[in-house]
Structures are given as structure tokens and as C-alpha cells.
């Protein structure tokens, strides 16, 4: 069985963000980088599937500059077998369709039985790449999965719907899953596996050899949300607070007129 | 008084011919052979462990051995049973010396050279001292018997070994007095010599009515019985807790000679090593196994263990005993499973067990070694919150998960620069994670800096370049992450021309000052209480006395790990504190619950340790609980809120109190 996992390196969300000079993305200074949270669930599920079926080879793919190798090493330490680094110093400027096309261009000759991606990335959050890859490759996809079972080529997944609903969806491999929080608890890599990961194959591919499409989206500007007036917290006697609310509603809104 | 040579006939009534000596020495040889065979069997088990050099520094080791054995210095720390044991030991030891002297004269100096030294005044004192030594030993043994069998304190495990030991020792001592009494009844009653054996005299008077013939046959019978008991004692030594006479004493020689509480720095570069940490006896050192034989189950560690006394499934004593069970009975068993993960994760590495142990056993490293196995080999943590905190440390260099780039933000307001901006400073303040990011603890950082500035010192920090010292993750078992953090911090600090490092966190202090030594770091590191106390003595720091009441908590990593007890108290005194000590203070201080990486973990089992410590502080009647550690302060703030004591008790750090009193 051949499994592909796509991971993205993203800034830790606690970082100090600044808009970059071009005004279209964030500045990289002072950012702590890590594996996209949802991709961790994807890696974990791929490794669990490998452990379940026994004979499987898990490829990890990541697009970006050299620094993404650090994140790939973590995936290798978690149990993936080999890595493909698509070298692209401006991956952040590419739209989800371009990214999906790059992945699909790599995947099409490798006949993967299963592909796992994160449900979305923590930085761009488009939630499109996974499903676009499946569409380009012409394979089934189930998005936002929170439960996964695999039995003899048959996938049964529970996926999240709006309003707290869940749906159980079945698909035949080959299929692509986009993974959501709650699917599993990503393992902590053991030291022997961290050591082994350093020796695993990590292939570099130039992005130009895989990118054959043009962007369909354009980022025009990136900016922080405008600061709006702060909220008011009323405290004290309930009767007084009610009067205060009525006054505010009278003064500042038209609901009581 | 007639000039009479005080002495007695050795082997009186028993005879000194081959008929006595041959069976006597045959028995002795048999007992020594069994003794040696028994210990050789145990030696084989010690050898299951890995090598560890504990025979360096022999002079100091021998001094330590003599002090701890002959003066019973560790045993006496706990007064009641300690004094009973000490007195019993001295009594029995004198009787042993006495027996050796008799052997020396009868079967050596007298036999070969006609030299007798057990005579005259020396004999009188010899007689008196041995007589009283026997009495003291019997009385102390009786006291220990009452403690063990009649008013047994909670947790004192009593097994067949204890019954054998009490029975045999009583029998040996009492038969000794009966033998003495019988001999004196025949030979000494009415002579001035008799009063030099007052206890024997009592026995003699009680027995004299039996008549000489009966006394003589009783005497010879008891003499051989006594002999057999002693032979039994020697033979049983390897097979019962009697072995502690040898193993505990030897452990004083093999004791860890510091730095206190140091853990092995694993070699993670060695590619031949495939397993890390300990899960099998064969992965421990021989000393770890030997420790299990030195344990006398006195339960002093257990009584002081903050986890055990708050109903968590951890007893340092039990862990040591379980390791022994596995080593001697099922050496293939999985130690982590045997000891239980919950027990291992419950340890706060507070070192109270090791500090009090009268057998110089090292508990904490065993626990951390097993944690290392869980983390490094299984990727396991006590809870998801700990794994998350560890990942935060990996990504942002702090367990709180806050962006690394804001680590130095607190310092901007008070004009402290990073070494990257201005490396020319008097001291590098290694701030640590809590004082950098935690709002409550930032007050400690600013207080310390203001105190230094008032003393005319220029302080620099590392700011966003600083990373967690690695202490909590190391104690949780993640040696790999600890070493990567340490390597980064060391390289960074070495890149600046730093003369002196000061920390406000005792965990950073212990780690930079001691643990980093194994990784090639040798700059002087001080905890701020020690540093400020020096400034005060020098006169560069001036404080206004403004009296207040408080109680003071010795953090484990400043106290037990580094023996700093006085300097913080001096600072408090100068500030005007009237310190009401808690019962458990200084080397017997009770942990706040945050050590050993437990600051990262939820406390789900038993009573909360911090609540217990806060309650102890409240008992003193003081309205302020002063500590010297950001972890302690965090735990106490939580505990005070948890117990709803905000009105009556405030948690403060020493630095806060001092800064309020700057002149």
C-alpha cells in the first residue's frame, strides 16, 4: 500500500505577526515555525493505517523553502518512510489551486492508494488544497474527517457537517482524506525514531518541474482587522444594570424608538 | 584492699582444649562460609547492573563511611527511633569489640606469646562497659520492639525478617547475661570485681540459689547455645534484613558524592545505543540494585514524600523495594509496569527522600531513568497537557506556549537591554520562562532588576534568544529536548562575554549551575537570594527595615538541592521580617508540588500538594507565605485561591518584599 501525506509548515499562532513589505503576506521575522496542526492528524492517521495493514510505504510531501525540512523530519520521526521536498521559496504566494496542482502533478505517477491532508492550513485556512488534489487526480475524497476506518480497500469515515452534525461516508481506495481535530492524538516521536528519521530518504524536487498551471485567485492585500471600540462590562446591582442597558440602547441604537 | 589482679578466666567452665575450640571454630568457619556464599549470590545480582565508578575519592568515602556508621549521623536525624537504633548499635558494637578482644587474647596473644591484657584496671572498665553496653542494647531493642509490634506507626512494614531479628538479638543478649550471671554466681559473688558488672550481678544474685553444679552445667549449656545463636546470626545475615549491617554501611562508602541530585547526562550521540532510560534491571547501574539491598524499610522517605502524603500511588521506599524484588526474583520483568506509571509520574523530584535516607539510597535518579524510558522510547507523558507543554517548549522555547519573540517584552519598560543590543553588563540575568511570560512572576523579574539597579549594577538579559533551561522537560524524562535546549543556551551565552549569571528561578539556577557542567558550561551562576545577600553585606544594596510577619518556604531546588537556607532568611531579617517557621522547613521542607516537571501537569490523584503546603503555612498564623521560586509562587497563588484564603494569606517572593524596602 502506498500512502501520501501532505504537510505544511506554518507559524505558531502565538507568534508576533507583522504584514510583510509587499503587503500581501506576513513577515517571517520572529516567527516560530511548526507543522500545521491538521497535518499532524493526517500524519498520525497515515502511520496508524500503515501499522494496521503492515505492508505500507508512507511518503511525506511538503512545499516550501529549505526550512520546511525541519517539519518533514518530525513527520519522518513520527513514522513516515520517505520525504519529498518541493523546493519553492515563494510557495506562500501561490493560491490553493496552484498548490494542489503541484501535489497532483507529483502524485499522478505514483499511484497512491490513500492520500491524507490536513483539513486546512492554520495560516491561509482556505481548506481547498486537499479536495482540489482529489479532483485533479479524479479520486474520491472525504473532507473534515474525525473518524477513520480502513478495511480491505473500503474506507469508512465520519465527517463533520455544519451545526454539530456528523455524517458517515464510505469510499473505495484510492481516496483522499482531509483531517480534522478530534481524529486522533498525534504521537510524540520516540528518540530512536528521531535518530532513524535523520537517515531516511528526503528527495528534493524543483517546483518548476511540477507546476504547470496559473493561479486562479489573487491576494490583493493583507491587513490586521481594524480595531473597533471595546465592549462595555456592566457590574453592580441588577436593577441599575438594566437601567444602564436601556439608556445605552436609547442613546446608541434605534431599537427602542 | 589486697593487691589482686582483676581478671577472669576466659573459657571458664567451658574449657580451652580442642574439645571446645575445634567445634567452636568449625561452627565459626561454617557460618563465615554460609555468610560469604550468601553475599556472593547477591553480588551476582548487583552485577546485573551496568558499571558505575563509586570507588573514586577513597579517602573522603572512608571518612564518610566511618562517620555515618560509627556516629550514626544519618540515623540520628530522626530523633525517636534514630536514637534507639544509635544506642542499640553502640551497645552491640561495644559487645562486638569486647568479643574480639577476648578472641585476641585467648586465641592469639596469650596462646602464642603468653600476653594477657584483659586484667587490672583495664579489665574493670572492660567489664563495666560491656555490662552496660548489653543493658543499653537490651533496653533499646525492647523500645524498638514496642514501636514495631505494639504501637506501630503507620506505614512501618513488618515482615518475618523483623521477627527473626528481634528474636535472635534478644536471645543473644539475654543468654549473654545469663552466662555472665552463672559465671559470676560461682566465681565473683562477694568479690570487689562483682560490682564492675552491675547487670551481671543482678543475674548472679538471682541464680546463685541453683548451686554451683547446676550453675556450671547451665553455664556451659547456655554458652554453646549463645555460640549457636551467634553463628545463626552470621549465617542469616545475607538472607535477612540483617544484611543492612553490611550493605547500608557499604552504601555510605558508595554514596553519591555530588553534585547533589545530579542526573546522568545521557550520551545521545552514541549510535550503538538503541534504548534510553530504564525499564529492565540490566539497564540500571549496579548501585541502583545495591541500593535495594541497603534499604531497611525505615519508611522515612515515604513519610516525607509529598506525593505519598497526599495519597498518590508513590512511595520512594516501595519503588526501591520493587526494584529489588524484580532484580532478585524476576530480573526480566518490566520495571515501569511493576512500579506503575502513575507512581513514576507522581514524583516531584523534591529530593526529600534522598535527604532523609539513612542508607544513602538514591531514589530520584531511578524514577527519572524510568520516566526517560517512557518518554524517549514510548513517547508517553502523564497527560496530554504535558505533551502539549513539551511541544510548546520545542516550538517557542517555553512551556506556556507563548510566542518566543515576546520573551523579553517585560524588560523594555524598566530599561533592561538584551546582550544582543548591549553585551557590556555586570551580570546576565537568566530570566527563565515564568518570570518572562507569567504576569505574576514578571513582578519578580522587575523587582530583582530594580534591586540590582539600586545597587549600581548593569543587568542584561538574553531576551528572545533565551530558551527554557530545560529543567522541567528533563525531569519529565525528555533528556533529548533538554540537551538540545541546553546546547542552544550554552552556545548563546558563551558567545557573549558574560562574567556572572544570576537567576531568580532555583530550577534555572540548579540546571545552569550544575547540570550544564556536564555539557561543558562553567560560568559562575548564582540564585538571586545569594547574590543579593552578598550585595547587602558589601553595602552596595541598602534596605529599609519595615517589620512584618511571614512564614518562609524553602524551595526544593534552592534548599535541598543546593543547601541554601540562610541567605534568604538573612534578607528577610534585614527587611524586617519576623519569620514563623513551618514545622517542615529547611532540609525537611515540604515541596510545593511543581518540581519534577509537575508544573506542566494536572494533579489528578489524591489531595493537591500545593493546598497541603498552603495549609501548613496558614497554621503558623502568619498572613504571608514567602518563597524564592516562580514555580512555588505559582503553586501557592493557586493553593490560596483553591482554599479560599485570599483574605488571610498572601503569597510573595523575597524579591518583592525587598524592592518595597529600597532606601
Q: How confident is the model at residue B506 (pLDDT cuts 50, 70, 90)?
A: very high
Predicted local confidence at residue B1, as pLDDT: 41
Cβ-based contacts of B274 with chain A (< 8 Å): 192
Q: Which domain holds residue B390?
A: 384-533
Q: Residues B155-191: pLDDT tens digits?
A: 999 999 999 999 999 999 999 999 999 999 999 999 9
Which residue numbers of A have CB closer than 8 Å to B's CBs?
12, 14-16, 30-34, 185, 187-192, 194-195
Q: Is residue B459 domain-shared with residue B548, that is, in the same domain? A: no
Residues on chain B touching A16 (C-beta within 8 angstroms): 403, 405-406
In a shared domain, residues B623 and B553: yes
As a whole number, mean pLDDT of residues B378-393 equals 97
Say how far apart CA A188 and CA B384 lie, in whole Å: 10
C-alpha cell belonging to residue A84: 519529498
B269, B373, B391, B488, best to mutate vs chain A, most A CBs in 10 Å: B391
Query: pLDDT band at B599, cuts 50/70/90?
Result: very high
Model pLDDT for residues A153-210, shown as the tens digit of each residue: 999 999 999 888 999 999 999 999 999 999 999 999 999 999 999 999 999 999 999 9
Q: What is the pLDDT of residues B297-314, one digit of tens each?
A: 999 999 999 999 999 999
Average pLDDT, integer, range B263-286: 94
Which of B379, B390, B405 lies nearest to residue A187, judging by beta carbons? B379
Question: Do B403 and A12 make contact, defined as CB atoms within 8 angstroms?
Answer: yes
Among B327, B354, B378, residue at a domain's last position: B378
User: Whole-angstrom Cα distance, residue A123 to residue A25?
Assistant: 10
Predicted pLDDT of residue B4: 60
Q: How far apart are CA B462 and CA A89, in angstroms?
A: 31
Residue A139 has pLDDT above 60, yes or no: yes
Mean pLDDT calculated for residue range B276-295: 98
Contact A58, A1 (CB under 8 A): no
Assess contact for B457 and B397: CB atoms under 8 A.
no
- Give chain A as a 3 state SS string: CEEEEECCEEECCCCCCCECCCCCCECCCCCCEEECHHHHHHHHHHHHHHHHHCCCEEEEEEEECCCHHHHHHHHHHHCCCEEEEEECCCHHHCCHHHHHHHHHHHHCCCCCCEEEEECCCCCCCCCCHHHHHHHHHCCEEEEEEEEEEEECCEEEEEEECHHHCEEEEEEECCEEEEECCCCCCCCCCCHHHHHHHCCCCEEEEEHHHCCCCCCCCCCCCCCCCCCCCCCCCCCCCHHHHHHHHHHHHHHHCCCCC
Do both B491 and B415 map to the same domain? yes
State percent of chain B over pLDDT 70.
Answer: 99
Distance from CA of A51 to the nearest CA of B (A): 15
Cross-chain CB nearest to B376 (options A30, A33, A191) = A191
Are B103 and B180 found together in one domain? yes
pLDDT class of A65 with cuts at 50, 70, 90 = very high
Judge whether residue B272 has pLDDT over 90: no
- Please give the interface size between A and B, counted as residue pairs whose CB atoms are below 8 Å apart: 53
Residue B390 distance to chain A (closest CA, Å): 10
Helix H or strand E segment including B447: helix B439-454
Task: Cell numbers for A12, please give them.
Answer: 505558531
- Considering B351, B378, B405, which residue would you say is the last residue of a domain? B378
Q: What residues contact B597, with CB distance under 8 A and at least 6 apart? A: B349, B386, B471, B472, B473, B474, B475, B476
- Pairwise CB contact (< 8 Å): A33 & B395: yes
Q: Tell me which DSSP letter residue B559 carries.
A: T
> Among A185, A192, A194, whose Cβ lies nearest the Cβ of B274?
A192
Flag whether pLDDT at A236 surpasses 90.
Answer: no
**Do the Cβ atoms of B506 and B555 come closer than 8 Å?**
yes
Domain total of chain B = 4
A32/B404 Cβ within 8 A:
yes
Cβ contact, residue pair A188, B390, below 8 Å: yes
Are B342 and B319 found together in one domain? yes
Residues B554 and B452 in one domain: no
| Pairing status of strand A140-151 against strand A154-160 | antiparallel
Task: Verify that B591 and B509 share a domain, yes or no.
Answer: no
CA dihedral over B600, B601, B602, B606, signed as positive or negative: negative
Q: Say whether pLDDT at B292 is over 50.
A: yes
pLDDT band with cut points at 50, 70 and 90 for residue B2: very low
Whether residue B562 lies inside any domain: the answer is: yes
Residues of chain A contacting residue B275, judged by C-beta atoms under 8 Å apart: 192
Q: Which domains does chain A have, with CATH numbers?
A: 2-209 (3.40.50.620)
Assess if residue B39 is contained within a domain. Answer: no
Interface probe, candidates B376, B379, B394, B465, chain A, greatest A C-beta count within 10 A: B379
Contact A188 B402 (CB under 8 A): no
Mean pLDDT across B187-201: 95
User: Do both B245 and B323 map to the same domain?
Assistant: no
Q: How far is B425 from chain A (nearest CA, A)?
A: 25
DSSP 8-state code for residue B591: P
pLDDT tens figures, B482-498: 999 999 999 999 999 99
Residue B501: give its domain's CATH number. Answer: 3.40.50.1860
Per-residue pLDDT tens for B50-89?
999 999 999 999 999 999 999 999 999 999 999 999 999 9
pLDDT tens, residue by residue, B439-480: 999 999 999 999 999 999 999 999 999 999 999 999 999 999
Residue B40 belongs to a domain: no
B341 exposure class (CB count in 10 Å sphere: 0-12, 13-18, 19+): middle
- B188 in a structural domain: yes
Q: Name the residue among B377, B541, B531, B336 with its Cα closest to residue B453.
A: B541
* Same domain assignment for residues B411 and B511: yes
Please check whether residues B495 and B557 belong to one and the same domain: no
Tell me, yes or no, whether B300 and B344 share the same domain. yes
The residue among B200, B224, B253 that closes a domain is B253
> Could you tell me if B565 and B591 lie in one domain?
yes
A191/B401 touch (CB, cutoff 8 Å), yes or no: no
Q: What is the CATH number of the domain that holds B613?
A: 3.40.50
- Best residue in B266, B270, B276, B395 for a mutation probing chain A (most A CBs within 10 Å): B395
> Which residues does residue B551 pair with via DSSP β-bridges, in sequence order?
B625
Amino acid at each position: 500500500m502506498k500512502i501520501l501525506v501532505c504537510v505544511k509548515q506554518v507559524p505558531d499562532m502565538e507568534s508576533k505577526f507583522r504584514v510583510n513589505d509587499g503587503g500581501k503576506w506576513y513577515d517571517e521575522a520572529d516567527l516560530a515555525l511548526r507543522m500545521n496542526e491538521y497535518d499532524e492528524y493526517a500524519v498520525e492517521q497515515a502511520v496508524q493505517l500503515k501499522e494496521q495493514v503492515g505492508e505500507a510505504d508512507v511518503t511525506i510531501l511538503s512545499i516550501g523553502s529549505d526550512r520546511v525540512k525541519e517539519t518533514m523530519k518530525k513527520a519522518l520521526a513520527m513514522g513516515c518512510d520517505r520525504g519529498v521536498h518541493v523546493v519553492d521559496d515563494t510557495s506562500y504566494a501561490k493560491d490553493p489551486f496552484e498548490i494542489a496542482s503541484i501535489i497532483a502533478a507529483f502524485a499522478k505517477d505514483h499511484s497512491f492508494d490513500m492520500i491524507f491532508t490536513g483539513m486546512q492550513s492554520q495560516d491561509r485556512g482556505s481548506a481547498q488544497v486537499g479536495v482540489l488534489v482529489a479532483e485533479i487526480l479524479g479520486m474520491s475524497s472525504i473532507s473534515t474527517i474525525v473518524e477513520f476506518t480502513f478495511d480491505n480497500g473500503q474506507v469508512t469515515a465520519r465527517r463533520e457537517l455544519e451545526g454539530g452534525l456528523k455524517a458517515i461516508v464510505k469510499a473505495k481506495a484510492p481516496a483522499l482524506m482531509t483531517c480534522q481535530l478530534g481524529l486522533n492524538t498525534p504521537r510524540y516521536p520516540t528518540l530512536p525514531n528521531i535518530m532513524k528519521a535523520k537517515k531516511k530518504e528526503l528527495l528534493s524536487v524543483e517546483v518548476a518541474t511540477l507546476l504547470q498551471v496559473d493561479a486562479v485567485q489573487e491576494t490583493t492585500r493583507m491587513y490586521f482587522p481594524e480595531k473597533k471600540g471595546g465592549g462595555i462590562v456592566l457590574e453592580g446591582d441588577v436593577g441599575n444594570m438594566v437601567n444602564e442597558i436601556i439608556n445605552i440602547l436609547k442613546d446608541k441604537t434605534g431599537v427602542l424608538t | 584492699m589486697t593487691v589482686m589482679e582483676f581478671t577472669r578466666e576466659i573459657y571458664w567452665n567451658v574449657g580451652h582444649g580442642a574439645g571446645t575450640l575445634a567445634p567452636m571454630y568449625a561452627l565459626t568457619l561454617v557460618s563465615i562460609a554460609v555468610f560469604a556464599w550468601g553475599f556472593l549470590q547477591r553480588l551476582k545480582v548487583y552485577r546485573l547492573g551496568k558499571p558505575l565508578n563509586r570507588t573514586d575519592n577513597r579517602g573522603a568515602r572512608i571518612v564518610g563511611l566511618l562517620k555515618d556508621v560509627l556516629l550514626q549521623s544519618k540515623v540520628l536525624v530522626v530523633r525517636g527511633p534514630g536514637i534507639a537504633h544509635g544506642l542499640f548499635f553502640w551497645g552491640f558494637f561495644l559487645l562486638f569489640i569486647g568479643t574480639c578482644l577476648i578472641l585476641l587474647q585467648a586465641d592469639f596473644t596469650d596462646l602464642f606469646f603468653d600476653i594477657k591484657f584483659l586484667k587490672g584496671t583495664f579489665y574493670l572498665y572492660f567489664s563495666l562497659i560491656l555490662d552496660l553496653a548489653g543493658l543499653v542494647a537490651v533496653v533499646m531493642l525492647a523500645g524498638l520492639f514496642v514501636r514495631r509490634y505494639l504501637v506501630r506507626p503507620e506505614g512501618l512494614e513488618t515482615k518475618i525478617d523483623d521477627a527473626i531479628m528481634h528474636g535472635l538479638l534478644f536471645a543473644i543478649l539475654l543468654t549473654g547475661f545469663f552466662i555472665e550471671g552463672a559465671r559470676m554466681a560461682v566465681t565473683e559473688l562477694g568479690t570487689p570485681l562483682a560490682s564492675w558488672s552491675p547487670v551481671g550481678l543482678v543475674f548472679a544474685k538471682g541464680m546463685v540459689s541453683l548451686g554451683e553444679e547446676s550453675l556450671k552445667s547451665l553455664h556451659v549449656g547456655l554458652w554453646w547455645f549463645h555460640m549457636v545463636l551467634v553463628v545463626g546470626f552470621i549465617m542469616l545475615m545475607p538472607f535477612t534484613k540483617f544484611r543492612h549491617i553490611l550493605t547500608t554501611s557499604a552504601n555510605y562508602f558508595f554514596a553519591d558524592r555530588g553534585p547533589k541530585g545530579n542526573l546522568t547526562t545521557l550520551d545521545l550521540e552514541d549510535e550503538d545505543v538503541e534504548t534510553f532510560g530504564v525499564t529492565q534491571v540490566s539497564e540500571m547501574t549496579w548501585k541502583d540494585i545495591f541500593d535495594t539491598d541497603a534499604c531497611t524499610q525505615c519508611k522515612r522517605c515515604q513519610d516525607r514524600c509529598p506525593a505519598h502524603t497526599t495519597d498518590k500511588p508513590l512511595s520512594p521506599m516501595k519503588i526501591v523495594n520493587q526494584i529489588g524484588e524484580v532484580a532478585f526474583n524476576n530480573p526480566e520483568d518490566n520495571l515501569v509496569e511493576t512500579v506503575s506509571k502513575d507512581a513514576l509520574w507522581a514524583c516531584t523530584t523534591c529530593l526529600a527522600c534522598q535527604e532523609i535516607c539513612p542508607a544513602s539510597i538514591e531514589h530520584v535518579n531511578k524514577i527519572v531513568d524510568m520516566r526517560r524510558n517512557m518518554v524517549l522510547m514510548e513517547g508517553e507523558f502523564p497527560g496530554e497537557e504535558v505533551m502539549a507543554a513539551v511541544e510548546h517548549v520545542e516550538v517557542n522555547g517555553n512551556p506556556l506556549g507563548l510566542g518566543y519573540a515576546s520573551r523579553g517584552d517585560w524588560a523594555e519598560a524598566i530599561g533592561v537591554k538584551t546582550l544582543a543590543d548591549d553585551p557590556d553588563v555586570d551580570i546576565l540575568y537568566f530570566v527563565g520562562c515564568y518570570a518572562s511570560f507569567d504576569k505574576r512572576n514578571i513582578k519578580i523579574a522587575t523587582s530583582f532588576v530594580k534591586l540590582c539597579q539600586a545597587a549600581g549594577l548593569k543587568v542584561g538579559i538574553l531576551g528572545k534568544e533565551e530558551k527554557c533551561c530545560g529543567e522541567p522537560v528533563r525531569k519529565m524524562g525528555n533528556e533529548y529536548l533538554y540537551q538540545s535546549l541546553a546546547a542552544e543556551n550554552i552556545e548563546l551565552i558563551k558567545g557573549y562575554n558574560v562574567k556572572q549569571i544570576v537567576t531568580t528561578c532555583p530550577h534555572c539556577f540548579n540546571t545552569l549551575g550544575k547540570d550544564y557542567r556536564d555539557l561543558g558550561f562553567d560560568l559562575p551562576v548564582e540564585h538571586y537570594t545569594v547574590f543579593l545577600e552578598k550585595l547587602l553585606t558589601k553595602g552596595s544594596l541598602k534596605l529599609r527595615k519595615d517589620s512584618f510577619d511571614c512564614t518562609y518556604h524553602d524551595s526544593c531546588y534552592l534548599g535541598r538541592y543546593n543547601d541554601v537556607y540562610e541567605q534568604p532568611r538573612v534578607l528577610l531579617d534585614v527587611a524586617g521580617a519576623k519569620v514563623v517557621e513551618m514545622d517542615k522547613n529547611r532540609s525537611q521542607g515540604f515541596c510545593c508540588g511543581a518540581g519534577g516537571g509537575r508544573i506542566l501537569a494536572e494533579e489528578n490523584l489524591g489531595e493537591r500538594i500545593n493546598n497541603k503546603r498552603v495549609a501548613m503555612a496558614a497554621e503558623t498564623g502568619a498572613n504571608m507565605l514567602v518563597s524564592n521560586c516562580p514555580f512555588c509562587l505559582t503553586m501557592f497563588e493557586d493553593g490560596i485561591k483553591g482554599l479560599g484564603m485570599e483574605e488571610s494569606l498572601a503569597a510573595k517572593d523575597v524579591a518583592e518584599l525587598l524592592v518595597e524596602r529600597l532606601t
